[in-house]
């Protein structure tokens, strides 16, 4: 997967860590990173540490389990960094990357993004936590 010249959103889930992916994407030549973490201040602190010419880094507190937060991330990334190329979900069981150029392109980009992000979230959340998350969402 090509990272050089790409704008990347890294969304961290509870129990996940965005530091490793952020450093790898920056080292691989990403032209911008938006870091989102549900823990207040974590993404902002990491963004301040990694921000540099040629790869601006923006950090926000956000929970991508909420479609409204995903919409806000997309808007923030596009306002500050330009068109998003890759969306990385970092969870307790690893990372999954969604390449936006693989989406069909004939629907609203946000609507298209929700399904692969939902799948990515399911892949990086331990099975027992996934069941608890589903039960909580139904309640």
User: pLDDT tens across 71-116, in order?
Assistant: 888 889 989 999 889 999 999 888 989 888 876 665 466 666 777 7
pLDDT at position 100 is: 80
**Could you tell me if 34 and 75 are in contact, meaning their C-beta atoms sit under 8 angstroms apart?**
no
Sign of the alpha-carbon dihedral angle for 9, 15, 20, 21: negative
Structural domains in the chain, CATH included, are: 7-138 (3.40.50)
* Whether pTM exceeds 0.75: yes
Question: What is the spatial distance between Cα 7 and Cα 26, in angstroms, rounded to a whole number?
Answer: 10
Q: Of 112, 95, 101, 83, which Cα lies nearest the Cα of 10?
A: 95
Question: What is the spatial distance between Cα 118 and Cα 104, in angstroms, rounded to a whole number?
Answer: 16
Question: What is the spatial distance between Cα 101 and Cα 14, in angstroms, rounded to a whole number?
Answer: 27
pLDDT at position 133 is: 47
pLDDT at position 67 is: 81
Using the predicted structure, report yes or no on whether residue 62 has a pLDDT greater than 60.
yes
Pairing label, strands 94-99, 86-91: antiparallel
Question: What is the spatial distance between Cα 61 and Cα 49, in angstroms, rounded to a whole number?
Answer: 16
Confidence band for 1, pLDDT divided at 50, 70 and 90: confident
Predicted confidence (pLDDT) per residue in 105-130, tens digit: 654 666 667 777 788 888 887 765 54
Using the predicted structure, report yes or no on whether residue 54 has a pLDDT greater than 90.
yes
């Amino acid at each position: 997967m090509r990272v050089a010249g790409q704008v990347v959103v890294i969304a961290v889930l509870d129990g996940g860590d965005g530091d490793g992916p952020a450093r790898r994407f920056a080292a691989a030549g990403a032209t911008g990173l938006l870091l989102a973490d549900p823990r207040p201040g974590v993404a902002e602190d990491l963004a301040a540490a990694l921000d540099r010419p040629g790869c601006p880094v923006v950090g926000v507190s956000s929970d991508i389990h909420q479609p409204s937060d995903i919409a806000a991330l997309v808007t923030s990334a596009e306002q500050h960094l330009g068109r998003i190329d890759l969306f990385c979900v970092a969870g307790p069981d690893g990372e999954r990357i969604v390449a936006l150029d693989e989406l069909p392109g004939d629907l609203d980009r946000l609507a298209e993004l929700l399904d692969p992000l939902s799948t990515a979230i399911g892949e990086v959340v331990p099975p027992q936590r996934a069941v608890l998350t589903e039960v909580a969402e139904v309640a």
